[in-house]
Chain A
Amino acid sequence: MTCRFVYSAASAPSDMAVDITLLFKASVKTVKTRNKAIGVNVDSVKDEIFKKSRPKSGFSLRAKEVITNITKLKDFLLQHRKDYVSAGSLISTDLSRMTDSERDQIDQDAQTFMRTCSEAIKQLRSEVEKQATSAQIKEHRVAVLDLVDMYLRGVCKLYSEQRAIRVKRMVDKKRLSRLAPEHPGKVKKTAAEEPAEEKVVKEESPEKNMSEVQDSSLNLWEEGRVEDELSPEEIQMFEQENQKLVSEMNNLVDEVRQIEGKVVEISRLQEIFAEKVLQQETDIDNIHQLVVGATENVKEGNEDIREAIKNNAGFRVWILFFLVMCSFSLLFLDWYDG
């Protein structure tokens, strides 16, 4: 006696398939009651308790562990992404700002984490190679590791994007901040532009350094004026030297930042090239094998040809001998007859 169970045909509007799981469970109940009625021995209850303890292979547990780690990293990166990338406006509170040291810390941690994850994946891969399981299971495991690898690469991309944005922002800010004039005489202008600069580049420490340096130069200059011991020429000279030093430092810092950006790009390219080279490695190995085989074959061919020549020669000798013998025998017979 089957009751009519109401089951939902389509929950989502675009769901064309019909979920008949409940219908299936109803049929299970039907069969159970039928079996009981017939008297078939079904000892399901006991086994169900023990059934749950099916051995979960170590492989899948470990793979799942790696995945949870990568997810943790991803969540961590996404959480701090806003702070990491933020440019900081005038009204931003100090709480959301990150110092550079914090950013560097995040970079370091993320990198070590990614390294450990990729190490774990490599280890799992080598284990799969060594284990002697059936071909299907091996293929499955290799594919699982590929999926995990791709996931890790996706998360690494997140990280490198963030970092590239940060570096680019710093370079741009550096370029903006070079609006500072370098003439020592125009002190008033310097003083006027200082607060303007500070507004623009509040976050970055080099800028802070520069403003500090300009501050100190201003102070020195003021002190010099008060003291009145140093002559104006000497003051001017000192000013010039200071300015030169400051601009040199700025240049260096600028270049360093640019180089850093370039290095990030180059590392990305490097990765691509390394991939390609590894791919070519297998091809080259194949070619090597083929070439070795080909030389072997050629050597054997040479041997065969030599033997054939020898046989040919020997054969000829025998033919010659036979003909000579025949002719002698003919002569002999002829002489005998005659």
Chain B
Amino acid sequence: MATSVREKQTVALKRMLNFNTPPLKNAAAEPVWKVLIYDRFGQDIISPLLSVKELRDMGITLHLLLHSDRDPIPDVPAIYFLMPTEENIDRICQDLRSQLYESYFLNFISAISRSKLEDIASAALAANAVSQVTKVFDQYLNFITLEDDMFILCHQNKELISYHAINRADIQDTDMEAIMDTIVDSLFCFFVTLGAVPIIRCPRGNAAEMVAVKLDKKLRENLRDARNSLFTGDSMTAGQFSFQRPLLVLADRNMDMATPLHHTWTYQALIHDVLDFHLNRVMMEEGGGTDPSHAGARPKKKTKKTYDLTAADKFWQKHKGSPFPEVAESVQEELDAYRAQEDEVKRLKSIMGLDGEDEGAISMLSDNTAKLTSAVSSLPELLEKKRLIDLHTNVATAVLDHIKSRKLDVYFEYEEKLMSKSTIDKSLLDVIGDPDAGTPEDKMRLFLIYYITAQQVPSESDLEQYRKALLDADCDLSPLNYIKQWKAFTKMASGPANYGNSGVKPMGLFSRVMNTGSQFVMEGVKNLGLKQHNLPVTRIVDNLMEMKSQPETDDYRYFDPKMLRGSESSIPRNKNPFQEAIVFVVGGGNYIEYQNLVDYAKSKPGRKVVYGCSELFNAAQFMKQLSQLGQK
């Protein structure tokens, strides 16, 4: 896959916006204007990939939600991009009846059924608008790509396929079927966009297995149907002759419950954990939160600010996986570089002023003109750089405030030690009892990690002690019930997960005070570095890609949709190590696993790993789901 999934999806979207013809490379082509109508699913898919400016460049003058009030704009073609649900179809029929636009290009995110197509047809007939419906397409784009190598299934109705929905005690078969169908549909769209048929491996006995069986069946049916197959011609002429097929590893959240609760130390994962971060967009409150307001003064309004962290932001791309102190340093460096450039431009201004009086030399004038032109043309770049630096300064400051107030570095260190089973110097009770170290949620997370990673279940008296301490700290104990159940269940199934055995070495326990010119004073925050260690998911992927024989992955099932007979054997026929892998976690994932996989892929050159999950949650949301499960 020379082009990443994100590029493929972007290309598909751009083609769709160009009336499903490939966009011309002509620099000055005639503008054709159109209107884009989407529902919430379509909005989530488009917003991480295309900015409003790019939409404008493609000729989209208005972009509107399907279920909003729309005025008729009589002579403009309209492009619809939505899911084929009942209400959307009804709204389309309504639009056709009220004749809002001149021509309609309908694009459905996943395949539309014949009966719904007939509904639209009858509405079009009734409104005499059949000739206006110019094209109807199935786009097969039912997934959201957040990064070059990360995708999630959906953001809108994620409660339907959340961890809670899959694992709750009172789930019915029909519900489970529906959830599996949704997941399989999205995965199928993903592989259609990718243009490759994978080899599927999954563990036995949980939701991942069900997904694998269904996906295998769907892919097989599609491949058999030679006339309408979506895969013929793609893998051959796609330009990149990848003779190897990718490996799809289906993992289940139940294999590794500690990672979503873990406190983290890398930039992107911290932002997700601590701030409000959805679909590559950070929402923060700014304003006079920290200044004490004197009596009588009007309280400063807190403004909400949103920042987009996109692929074009080079600083973000470079540093989203680095540990936080490095990020702070780099922001400082960028700021210094920017100031140097600014001074350069200012110096130019003074030179210009001086030499304006010298008349004789035309050549000097031409030199100055050239310099001025270059300075003026570099101004937009400088402004853009300044904006990015401001953005990252604000975001990093906010994160730092959270770290300081909740002492997240302490938690991180402790949990790393727990997960790597090295010796711990402070006892758990001390940390829980410490009143100003973190919110009750943090303490609960710490305790759950302890419980999950303990080799044997702590005795009842210990448990009572911990329970009392937690209750004193105002923690909610219902997740604990669920985790107890889970632990008992997994103990029966297999041994406890091993989290790797390398620890964290704090790089000097002295507080790192930066010089007064900087804005990041990280007093009292330990400067911790990250050592490379592999989470369970990463280890499983490693084993499967290299065909190593390990006890935990040996009895994984093996599916190959291209084989003629659906075999039940779990003997892989392919003996070569895989170069590309797609990891999909059923039940939810988060940025810590993603970062771990990225680091793993970087360490093995030539490997590409794409990470996907059914939903993306941070620890707070996961805790909420666990407490809901524990209350049953």
Contacts and interface: CB of A to CB of B under 8 A. Distances in A.
Interface of A: 6, 9-10, 12-21, 23-25, 27-28, 30-32, 35, 42, 44, 47-48, 51, 54-57, 60, 67, 71, 74, 134-137, 139-140, 143-144, 146-148, 150-151, 154-155, 158, 255, 258, 262, 265-266, 268-269, 272
B30 A17 contact: no
Contact of B140 (A6, A17, A71, A139): A17
B135 A10 contact: no
Main secondary structure of the interface of A (DSSP, over half): helix
B76 A140 contact: yes
Scoring A10, A17, A48, A266 by chain B CB atoms within 10 A of each residue's CB, the highest score goes to: A17
B62 A143 contact: yes
B65 interface: no
A219 to B, nearest CB: 34
Contact of A17 (B16, B237, B369): B16
18 contacts: A10-B233, A14-B239, A15-B15, A16-B140, A17-B137, A18-B137, A19-B20, A19-B137, A21-B134, A24-B136, A31-B121, A48-B131, A74-B28, A140-B61, A146-B56, A148-B31, A258-B366, A265-B369
Scoring A12, A16, A17, A151 by chain B CB atoms within 10 A of each residue's CB, the highest score goes to: A16
A134 to B, nearest CB: 4
B23 to A, nearest CB: 12
B522 interface: no
Contacts of B61: 139-140, 143-144, 147
B230 A10 contact: yes
B122 interface: yes
Nearest to A67: B30
A258 B62 CA distance: 47
B247 interface: no
Interface of B: 8, 11-12, 15-16, 20, 22, 27-28, 30-31, 33, 35, 56, 59, 61-62, 64, 70-71, 73-76, 102, 107, 111-112, 114, 117-118, 120-122, 124-126, 128, 130-131, 133-140, 192-193, 195, 227-230, 232-234, 236-239, 362, 365-366, 369, 372-373, 376
B114 A27 contact: yes
Contacts, number: 160
B118 A30 contact: yes
B117 A27 contact: yes
A27 B369 contact: no
Nearest to A143: B61
A47 B71 contact: no
Contact of A262 (B122, B130, B369, B376): B369
B137 A147 contact: no
Contacts of A155: 28
Contacts of A13: 233-234, 236-238
B326 to A, nearest CB: 37
A28 B118 CA distance: 7
A23 B136 contact: yes
A44 B131 CA distance: 12
B31 A136 contact: no
A27 B118 contact: yes
Given A19-B135, A24-B136, A147-B31, 13 more contacts: A9-B228, A13-B233, A14-B239, A16-B234, A17-B139, A23-B114, A27-B121, A60-B75, A136-B70, A136-B71, A140-B33, A144-B61, A151-B31
Contacts of B30: 67, 71, 151
Given A27-B117, A60-B75, A144-B61, A258 B362 contact: yes
Nearest to A155: B28
B121 A30 contact: yes
B11 A14 contact: yes
A18 B227 CA distance: 12
Given A137-B73, A143-B62, A154-B28, A44 B128 contact: yes
Nearest to B9: A16
A273 to B, nearest CB: 8
B193 A44 contact: no
A44 B126 CA distance: 8
A214 B27 CA distance: 48
A20 B28 contact: no
B229 A57 contact: no
A140 B28 contact: no
Minimum-distance CB pairs A-B, first 5:
A143-B61, A13-B237, A154-B28, A147-B31, A27-B121
A9 B230 contact: yes
Contacts of A54: 74-75, 102
Contacts of A17: 12, 15-16, 20, 107, 137-140
A143 B369 CA distance: 35
B11 to A, nearest CB: 7
A54 B128 CA distance: 13
Nearest to A6: B227
A140 B73 contact: yes
A268 B373 CA distance: 9
Contact of A28 (B8, B121, B140, B193): B121
B125 A35 contact: yes
B629 to A, nearest CB: 38
A17 B13 CA distance: 10
A20 B117 contact: yes
A136 B62 contact: yes
Scoring A28, A60, A268 by chain B CB atoms within 10 A of each residue's CB, the highest score goes to: A28
Contact of A21 (B12, B16, B136, B239): B136
B129 to A, nearest CB: 8
A31 B117 CA distance: 10
Nearest to A42: B125
Given A9-B229, A16-B234, A269-B372, A24 B120 contact: yes
Contacts of A20: 112, 117, 136-138
